[in-house]
Chains A and B, each alone.
Chain A
Amino acid sequence: MVSGYQVYVSPGIVKSELRSIMGKSIDLLQGTLDLLILKTLALEPMHGWGISQRIQQISQDSLQVQQGSLYPALHRLELQGWIDSEWGASDNNRKAKYYRLTDSGRKQLEVETAKWERLSSAVAQILATA
């Protein structure tokens, strides 16, 4: 991601303002949040708080997921069957809901990743020729 700019990710249509050379904002594909969640869970199962922290961490603070928007996305993914949930004990023995990736979720992750890569290379091409 372009460093130095904060990108707020909310459910549904994801808008990000990239102050590129062209100076206009683009709408990212719906489901980008889903992609991020699936990717995060591919590494290890974790609870909602952990997911939001991890996304923040890995993107070096440039992606701050609006925390409230994370949960509807999580529940939607659970309804689709791509993630599974389980109540467990957190590190300080509090009750927390842990999510993990399912097999079909893993497949979906590959599909979404491929879509994203296609999109970003298309955007990069446009940027390169501008």
Chain B
Amino acid sequence: MKLFRRLRALFGKEQLYQQLSDEMTFHLEKQTEQNIAMGMRPEEARYAALRKFGGVEQVKEECRDAWGVNFIQSTIQDVSYGVRMLRKNLGVTVVAVISLALGIGANTAMFSVTNVMLLRALPVRNPQQLVEFIRRDPDGSMMTNLPYAVFEHLRKNTSVLSGVFAFTSDTRILRSGAGSEPLTIHEVSGSFFPTLGVNPLLGRAIDSADDRPDAEHQVVGLTYSFWSSQFGRDPSVVGATVRLNGAPSTVIGVMPPDFFGVDRSRTPGMWAPLASDPNPDEVWVLGRLKPGVSIPRARAQLEPQFHQALESLSDSTKNWPAGERDRFLGEKLVVQSATTGTSGMRWEYWEYSNTLRILMGMTGLVLLISCVNVANLLMARSAARSREIGIRLAIGAGRLRIVRQLLTENLIMALLGGVIGLLVAAWGHRVLVAFLVGNLQGVPLSFRLDERVLGFSLALSILTGLVSGVLPALRAGSRDLVAAIRDNLQLRGPTRLPFARKLLALQVALSLTLLIGAGLFVRSLRNLGSTDLGLARENLVLMKVDPSPSKSLRDPRRFWNQVVERIGALPGVRSVSIGGDAVFGNGGWNNGISVRQPDGTERQSQVAFNVVGPGFFYTVGIPLVAGREFGVMDQANAPRVAVVNQAFVRKFLGDDNPVGKRFGNAGAGSSSQIEIVGVIGDARYGDLREQPSPMFYLPVLQNLDNRLYEVHVRTAGNSAAVIAAMRREIQAMDPDISVYDVRTIKEVINGLLQHDRMFAVLASVFGILALLLTSIGIYGVMAYEITRRTGEVGIRMALGARRGDVLWMFMRETLLVLAAGAALGLPAALASAHVLRTLLFGLDPSDPVTLVWAMATLAIAGALAALLPARRATKVEPMVALRYE
């Protein structure tokens, strides 16, 4: 009610003031009458009445205050005045708003990415009730994949859980028009969709009736993104048939656009019932807590059932090595909140989190620099307005009032900056996500302007406005009144800029940090890109060929021989070979081997290996150091042979000639089954950064148990045409063969460098931005100073100073600022560069070349920025300068 009356008073302001006047008038008249009745003369009576009353205007003011209208009114006044002032100084306003927009926008983009990656709840019913079940080893490592038996046991519980569901990820080959392609499918239990509480967009969702091993028809549900990209949002897809792994399935529905399942790291193309998987060993298990049940309580209740499940599996683990079996049976249940879903990428998120932290550090620096820039601009502007402010102070405005008004102006600018910053943020978000997850398809990370992002942007804008404005506002309100109003005397000129140099030095220090970071990333990227990989990068194409759905796999030897022949026969193909794992593939295989030492003992170790075809090393370009490559003689019934790399030799075989030596599989009883026939050079295998580790290679013809192999092809020139020909060639053999993931080594390496490239590009952009802002700051302050001291310059030159002396006088000040900034910034920069240690390749965080380069760039930019106005100063005629007002 009070507020209502207040608002009414606010809107009826004029009437209120009039009524106040009337009230006072009435009172005074009555009192005057009374005085006259007591015998006073009319004027006396009036004066006596006024005296008795007190100050009329003061009373009116107090009454107005009582209504509390003042604050709102004065704020509105401030806003409209502020807008007028901003429009008057349009240049300063535009520069300030843009630099604020860039700073705020960059930070909002970072927050938005974090929001999408880590914070946003699943678009399902009551996501805060969702939990996921994880098992923890006695030694602390956590795994999200649980044995299927655990799911069966947990789903029986009805005391703390209102629903349990499980899913697993699988890749099936989808037969489409052009050929066959692998597709990620999530196989879900019948309780998946009902427990989550999601309604399909079209058709129906998979339920428990579909999730039976003996179900008549196989069914699948589509994700919205898959439906868009593959079926062009055609609603008639419901009821259509698709071929997966050669078998038909019916499409029963399409899910809404927001819903991507519960796995944040990947959106599948389709959902299928869990029962359609013949072998669901391990699944993700999630559940929904009953209302009011806490996570610790749920854990306590469910732990016994978890252990029962493990016990029920103890029979099947009888043959495991003792250590592993104990570890398995000693696992504990962990229950974690799954409001934002689960993620296969979870443990990589630590890497992401570090990335995000570093990026946030950089954007924070940029924001700080733009705040300091704006503060400097504002100081200059308020120095120019010192007369106006002085007058306002003199006629009675409180200091607080002035400060409030200036802060309001600043907040308006900051809010404007924030609004424009949202545009910057949307664009920045897309760029960031493209960099961060460039290689992964289907990760649901699009920009969403939800209340969190908006709130963050608003809060940051207000904070920025206050931080950048408080110092200038406080300074402005504390001016010496007399000096402020007094007109600019000849020699005095406009007032000094307080703090300008200190703020500039601060900007220089911050910019130095960013520039050093940029330099380090750029050099690191170059190092990575040009590092010797041990193989030949040019024109090397890889592709995955999976013949499993077709009939060709009945005679794999013949099949692969044919593949190699047919591709080798194509024009433009220099050589071709196959390998089980690609060069720069996804990790490789390990096996235990046993090597006899010179002293007779057996040394056992886990070593990485690969299975490759004849001519592999020639195709890939790894040099042969000793012995020979695999050839057609290394058949199934020939003696078992292997090729090893130099690291292997160094680690296991010492200095003797390794060709002819033998080793064996660990645990097979013999350490001399396999003869080494060749040694190749060390090549990087999984990671550009790591040192090559020991590896051995086995001939594919003696180890043909994979279903899919990677075909490595060295082409003669541009690969694009040859690639199309190769595809046709293979599909011609059988259309059910799937050929996919065709890439060149160059593309793969580029992909591996994605992260580093992101850092290099972003740091460079931020560094250039910082440099620009600082240069503008230096230019502005120098120009102002020169204008202020024009009179002084005139006197000096009249007394005989040369142009060069005047120039040096101004430049010296700038160089001082730069030096101070460098002294301040260098230790800070080195400290923060230390954080980047793990990301850099081939150089130290305190790399001297980078430091020198960064400082030189800053010095040159700063000197140039100061030179321009300084030169102008020297061109002024002394007589003009002396008369300058």
Interface residues of A (CB under 8 A from B): 11, 47-49, 52, 66-69, 71-72, 75-76, 78-81, 87, 90, 94-97
A31 to chain B, nearest CB (A): 14
Determine the distance from Cα of A7 to Cα of B65 in the docked complex, in whole angstroms. Answer: 26
B56 at the interface (CB under 8 A from A): yes
Flag whether B728 is at the interface (Cβ < 8 A). Answer: no
Q: From residue A74, how far is it (CB to closest CB) to chain B in Å?
A: 8
Q: Which of B432-464 contact A (CB under 8 A)?
A: none
Q: Is the CB of B53 within 8 A of A72?
A: no
CB distance from B17 to the nearest CB of A (A): 12
Chain A residues within an 8 Å CB radius of B884: none
Contacts of A75 in B (CB 8 A): 63, 66-67
Tell me the bound Cα distance from A81 to B3 in angstroms.
Answer: 11
Q: Is the CB of B54 within 8 A of A72?
A: no
- Other A-B pairs beyond A48-B23, A71-B59, A72-B62, 9, CB < 8 Å: A47-B23, A49-B26, A67-B54, A68-B59, A69-B54, A79-B6, A80-B2, A97-B23, A97-B26
Given contacts A49-B27, A67-B53, A75-B66, contact A97 B22 (CB under 8 A): yes
Query: A75 CA to B55 CA in the complex, in Å?
Result: 17
Q: Does B137 contact A (CB under 8 A)?
A: no
B5 CB → nearest A CB, Å: 6
Known A-B contacts A68-B56, A71-B59; A96 and B26 likewise in contact (beta carbons under 8 Å): yes
Q: Check if B63 sits within 8 Å of A72, measured CB to CB.
A: yes
CA distance A67 to B54 in the complex (A): 7
Contact of A79 among B19, B30, B67 (CB under 8 A): B67
Instruction: Tell me the complex Cα distance, A97–B55, Å.
Output: 20
Contact B26 A79 (CB under 8 A): no
Asked if B54 and A66 make an inter-chain contact with CB atoms under 8 angstroms apart, the answer reads: yes
Complex formed: what's the CA distance from A32 to B26 in Å?
Answer: 25
- Determine whether the beta carbon of A81 is less than 8 Å from that of B5: yes
Q: CB-nearest residue of chain A relative to B56?
A: A68
A94 touches B26 (CB 8 A): yes
Inter-chain CA distance A97–B2, complex, in Å, is: 20
Tell me if B24 is interfacial: C-beta within 8 Å of chain A: yes
- Return chain A residues, CB-CB under 8 Å to B54: 66-69
Bits for B33-72, please: 1 = Cβ < 8 Å to A, else 0. 0000000000000000000111110110011011110000
Partner of B68, one of A68, A79, A97: A79
**Contact yes or no, B65 A72, CB < 8 A:** yes
Instruction: Decide: A81 and B1 in contact? CB cutoff 8 A.
Output: yes
Q: Which of B26, B58, B63, B68 is in CB contact (< 8 Å) with A90?
A: B26
B residues in contact with A47, CB < 8 Å: 23, 26
In the assembled complex, the CB of B37 is this many whole angstroms from the nearest CB of chain A, namely 13
Whether, in the assembled complex, B490 has its beta carbon less than 8 Å from a beta carbon of chain A, the answer is: no
Do residues B66 and A72 form an inter-chain contact, with CB atoms below 8 A? yes
Of A69, A76, A94, A97, the contact of B19 (CB 8 Å cutoff) = A97
Whose C-beta in chain B lies nearest to the C-beta of A64? B52
Take A80-B2, A81-B2, A81-B5 as given contacts and tell me if A68 and B26 are in contact as well, using a CB distance cutoff of 8 Å: no
Question: What are the 7 tightest A-B residue pairs by CB atom distance, in nearest-first order?
Answer: A68-B54, A72-B62, A68-B59, A75-B66, A76-B66, A49-B30, A75-B63
Closest A residue by C-beta to B65: A72
- The residue of chain B having its C-beta at the shortest distance from the C-beta of A80 within the complex is B2
Is B355's CB within 8 Å of the partner chain A? no
- CB of B31 within 8 A of chain A? yes
Q: Determine which of A11, A71, A87, A95 lies in contact with B24 in the assembled complex, contact meaning CB atoms within 8 Å.
A: A71
Min Cβ gap A70→B in Å is 9
A-B contact pairs, 29 of them (CB 8 A): A47-B26, A48-B26, A48-B27, A49-B26, A67-B27, A67-B31, A67-B54, A68-B53, A68-B54, A68-B58, A69-B59, A71-B23, A71-B62, A72-B59, A72-B63, A72-B65, A72-B66, A75-B63, A76-B66, A79-B2, A79-B5, A79-B6, A79-B66, A79-B67, A87-B19, A95-B22, A97-B19, A97-B22, A97-B23
Quick check: is B538 within 8 A (CB to CB) of the other chain? Answer: no
Inside 8 A of A94's CB, which chain B residues have their CB?
26, 29
| Nearest-CB residue, chain A, relative to B29 | A94
Give the Cβ gap from A14 to chain B, nearest Cβ, in Å: 16
CA distance A80 to B52 in the complex (A): 27
Are A49's CB and B59's CB within 8 A?
no
Partner of A67, one of B52, B62, B63, B65: B52
Closest to A47 in B: B26
| List of A residues within 8 angstroms of B20 by Cβ | 71
CB distance from A25 to the nearest CB of B (A): 22
B1 contact set on A, CB distance < 8 A = 81
Distance in angstroms between the alpha carbons of A87 and B300 in the assembled complex: 73
Nearest CB of B to A83, in Å: 12
Closest to B6 in A: A79
Given the complex of chains A and B, what is the CA–CA distance between A32 and B9 in angstroms? 26
Contacts of A76 in B (CB 8 A): 66
Q: Is the CB of A71 within 8 A of B63?
A: yes
The residues of A that contact B31 with a CB separation of less than 8 Å are 49, 67
Q: Which residues of B contact A81 (CB under 8 A)?
A: 1-2, 5
Q: Which residues of A contact B26 (CB under 8 A)?
A: 47-49, 90, 94-97
Of A11, A68, A87, A96, the residue contacting B55 (CB under 8 A) is A68
Q: Which residues of B contact A90 (CB under 8 A)?
A: 26
Residues of A within 8 A of B63 (CB): 71-72, 75
CB distance from A37 to the nearest CB of B (A): 13
Chain B positions within 8 Å of A52 at CB level: 27
Closest to A94 in B: B26
Q: Give the distance in Å from the alpha carbon of A19 to the alpha carbon of B59 in the complex.
A: 30
Q: Which residues of the other chain, A, contact B5 by a CB distance below 8 angstroms? A: 78-79, 81
A90→B25 CA distance, assembly (Å): 13
Q: How far is the CA of A97 from the CA of B63 in the complex (A)?
A: 14
The smallest beta-carbon distance between A121 and chain B, in angstroms, is 31
- A72 vs B62: C-alpha distance in the bound complex, in angstroms? 6
Instruction: Determine how close the nearest CB of chain B comes to the CB of A102; give it in whole angstroms.
Output: 11
In the assembled complex, the CB of A99 is this many whole angstroms from the nearest CB of chain B, namely 10
| Distance from B370 Cβ to chain A, minimum over Cβ atoms (Å) | 44
User: Smallest CB–CB gap between A71 and chain B, Å?
Assistant: 5
The residue in chain B whose Cβ has the minimal distance to the Cβ of A66 is: B54
What residues of A have a CB within 8 angstroms of the CB of B58 in the complex?
A: 68
Residue picked from B26, B27, B58, most chain A C-beta under 10 Å: B27
Closest to A81 in B: B1
CB distance from A73 to the nearest CB of B (A): 8
Nearest A residue to B58 by beta-carbon distance? Answer: A68
The chain A residue with its CB closest to the CB of B52 is: A67
Chain A nearest Cβ from B50, distance in angstroms: 10
Complex CA distance for A11 and B63, rounded to whole angstroms: 12
What A residues does B24 contact at CB under 8 A? 71
- Tell me, rounded to whole Å, the shortest Cβ–Cβ distance linking A66 to chain B: 6
* C-alpha gap A97/B67 in the complex (Å): 17
Closest CB in chain A relative to B312 CB, distance in Å: 72
Complex CA gap A96/B27 in Å reads 9
A81 CB, nearest partner CB in chain B, Å: 6
Give every chain A residue within 8 A of B6 (Cβ-Cβ). Answer: 79
Task: Mark contacts of B717-753 with chain A using CB atoms, 8 A cut-off: 1 yes-contact digit, 0 otherwise.
Answer: 0000000000000000000000000000000000000
- Complex Cα distance, B29 from A47, in Å, reads 13
